[in-house]
Amino acid sequence: MTPPPDLGPRAAGALASPASQHPGWRSRGYLPHFDAADTWQSITYRLADAMPRHAIEAMERQLKTVPDPDRHKERRRHLEAWADAGHGTCLLRRPDVAQILWDNWQRFAGERYDMGPWVIMPNHVHLLIRTHGGSPLENILRSWKSFTAKRIMEVASVPAPVWHHDYWDRFIRDEGHWLSTKAYIENNPVTAGLVSHAADWPWSSVSWGQGRVRDRAPLARFEDAEFHEERASGARSQKSSHPCGG
């Protein structure tokens, strides 16, 4: 995917006016958030059981020893590492559940937001998104979680809560940041030890069009017998040690 020519407003000096629906910088609990229209952002949200409360509490105790300027960076590093470790029920590994997320993303894609590279991991998701004016990021995430939680509870017969209440976002500063974030998203299944090659993970933009979001759902591609056997053969050749590896 070619980097977008216009990355939108930068965080420095890009705070929204009081009348704007996009609030700029704000904070919910321990995660700061930035929201400005027409700005590409890297978004991560996870299942409620991907990181248990006791693990979060232990992490926060440990972070008290980290200087304030480095604390947010270290917190994010800990959270991402824990998510990649594959804890919890890993519901998003189920094709029918992953399909719910994809369908929900596509419902307002191009209308309320633009989508870039994405990956659905077993217990969390990463994607690049650019919101349109009048569609605050917080509202979009709230809508995604609310709708998909109801559908997932129906399909998988699981109790609430499905999603952790917060999410992580990071605005894209420049082309270099776009490329590094794109690489991180596309290679997350490899980093987590789920597959040897990014294209072997079925629920990602790299495996489903080399970073281009297509009009048809990913499951349609996996209905092809030859493609399915190719992926199954690859999975058999590498036995993953990841808890969600199957």
Is position 14 within any domain? Answer: no
Whether 48 is covered by a domain: the verdict is yes
Asked whether residue 13 is domain-assigned, the answer is no
Q: How confident is the model over 153-158, as a mean pLDDT?
A: 97
Tell me, yes or no, whether 162 lies in a domain.
yes
Instruction: Give residue-wise pLDDT tens across range 187-241.
Output: 999 999 999 999 999 999 998 775 444 444 444 443 443 433 443 344 334 444 5
Residue 39 within a domain: yes
Q: What is the value of pTM for the model shown?
A: 0.74
The set of residues, in sequence order, having a beta carbon less than 8 Å from that of 188 and lying 6+ positions away, is: 84, 119, 121, 126
CA 153 to chain centre: 20
Q: Among 12-21, 141-150, 188-197, name the most confident range.
A: 141-150
pLDDT value, residue 76 = 66
pLDDT for the residue numbered 26 = 47
Would you place residue 244 in the very low, low, confident or very high pLDDT band (cuts 50, 70, 90)?
Answer: confident
Average pLDDT over residues 1-27: 48
pLDDT greater than 50 at residue 18: no
- Rounded Cα distance between 213 and 204, Å, is 9
Round to whole Å and give the CA distance between 77 and 96.
Answer: 30
CATH code at position 226: 3.30.70.1290
DSSP string, 186-243: HHHHHHTTS-SSGGGSSSBTTTTTTT---SS-HHHHHTSHHHHHHHHHHHHHS---ST
Amino acid letter at 85?
A
pLDDT tens digits for range 35-79: 788 889 999 999 999 977 776 667 767 767 888 777 767 766 766
pLDDT at res. 245: 54
Q: Please report, rounded to a whole number, the percentage of residues in the chain having pLDDT higher than 70.
A: 65
Where residue 7 falls among pLDDT bands split at 50, 70, 90? Answer: low
Q: Which two tokens stand for residue 61?
A: 């105790």
Whether 3 is covered by a domain: the verdict is: no
What's the mean per-residue pLDDT of the chain? 77
Q: Does residue 227 lie in a domain region?
A: yes
Of residues 30 and 98, which shows the higher confidence score? 98
pLDDT at 17: 37
Residue 163, CA distances (Å) to 63, 95, 152 in order: 24, 18, 10
Q: Is residue 4, in this structure, part of any structural domain at all?
A: no
> Is pLDDT above 50 for 185?
yes
| pLDDT score, position 219 | 42
The closest of 163, 157, 111 to 132, measured between CA atoms, is: 111
Number of compact structural domains in the chain: 1
pLDDT at residue 65 in the model: 82
Q: Which domain holds residue 65?
A: 24-237
